[in-house]
C-alpha cells in the first residue's frame, strides 16, 4: 500500500515537471514566465495564463497556470492549474491536475493527483490527499490524515477521525473508514 502511494506520488511529481517544460495550447495569451511581488505588481497581467514557470514572491494571481508554480500565495482563476505547485497557500478556483504541495491547498473544482499539506480542501478529487486535515465534497482515492472528511467517497480514509457523510461503511470511525460505490 505504501509503495503504491509512493509510486503515485512520484508519478504525479514527474507529470508536473513534464508539464512545466511544455506549453499549453488550450489557453489564449499564455506567457512562459511570471514574476510577481503582489498582484497587480507582476510581469504578466492577472487576466493572462502562464505556461512554464511562475514565481510569486508574496502573492500572484493569473487566469491559468501550466508548469511549475512557486511562491508564498499562488492564486489561479477559473482556468485552473496543470503541474506542480509549492508554497504557503495554493488557491485554484478551477481544476487542478498534478501535485499541490502547500501548507494550505484549496481547489474549488476538481483535483486530480496529489495534495500534500496541513489543510487540503477540494470540491471533488481523484488521487491522494495527505495532510493534517483533508476535506472533499467527493473523493475517489485515498485520504491520509489525522482528520478526514468526505461528503461521499469511493476509496479509503486512514486517520484518527474519518468521516463519510453519505454511503460510507461507518458515518464516523477511527483509524480506517471506506466506501466503494
Residue 28: per-residue pLDDT: 57
Tell me the pLDDT band of 163, cut-offs 50, 70 and 90: very high
Stronger pLDDT, 7 or 34, i.e. the higher one: 34
Question: Comparing C-alpha atoms, which of 21, 66, 63, 19 is closest to residue 42?
Answer: 63
Give the residue-averaged pLDDT of 1-30: 50
Does the pLDDT of residue 94 top 80, yes or no?
yes
Element (H, E) at 2: helix 2-20
Give the residue-averaged pLDDT of 141-149: 98
Tell me the pLDDT band of 29, cut-offs 50, 70 and 90: confident
Give the residue-averaged pLDDT of 153-164: 98
Tell me the pLDDT band of 20, cut-offs 50, 70 and 90: very low
SS3 19: helix
Residue 3: per-residue pLDDT: 52
82 DSSP β-pair partners = 66, 97
Domain ranges of the chain: 2-139
Mean pLDDT, rounded, of the chain: 90
Does the pLDDT of residue 114 top 70, yes or no?
yes
27-36, 80-89, 131-140, 141-150: least confidently modelled range: 27-36
Residue 7: per-residue pLDDT: 53
Cell of residue 20, nine digits: 512545466
How crowded is residue 166: how many other Cβ atoms within 10 Å of its Cβ? 11
Tell me the pLDDT band of 171, cut-offs 50, 70 and 90: very high
Amino acid at each position: 500500500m505504501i509503495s503504491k502511494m509512493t509510486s503515485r506520488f512520484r508519478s504525479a511529481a514527474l507529470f508536473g515537471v513534464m508539464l512545466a517544460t511544455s506549453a499549453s495550447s488550450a489557453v489564449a495569451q499564455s506567457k512562459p514566465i511570471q514574476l510577481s511581488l503582489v498582484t497587480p505588481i507582476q510581469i504578466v497581467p492577472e487576466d493572462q495564463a502562464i505556461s512554464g514557470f511562475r514565481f510569486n514572491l508574496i502573492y500572484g494571481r493569473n487566469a491559468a497556470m501550466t508548469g511549475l508554480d512557486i511562491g508564498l500565495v499562488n492564486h489561479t482563476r477559473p482556468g485552473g492549474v496543470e503541474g506542480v505547485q509549492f508554497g504557503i497557500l495554493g488557491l485554484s478556483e478551477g481544476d487542478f491536475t498534478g501535485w499541490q504541495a502547500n501548507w494550505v491547498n484549496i481547489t474549488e473544482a476538481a483535483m486530480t493527483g496529489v495534495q500534500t499539506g496541513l489543510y487540503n480542501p477540494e470540491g471533488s478529487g481523484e488521487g491522494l490527499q495527505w495532510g493534517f486535515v483533508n476535506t472533499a465534497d467527493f473523493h475517489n482515492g485515498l485520504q491520509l490524515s489525522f482528520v478526514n472528511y468526505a461528503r461521499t467517497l469511493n476509496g479509503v480514509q486512514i486517520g484518527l477521525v474519518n468521516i463519510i457523510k453519505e454511503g460510507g461503511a461507518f458515518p464516523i470511525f477511527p483509524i480506517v473508514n471506506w466506501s466503494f460505490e
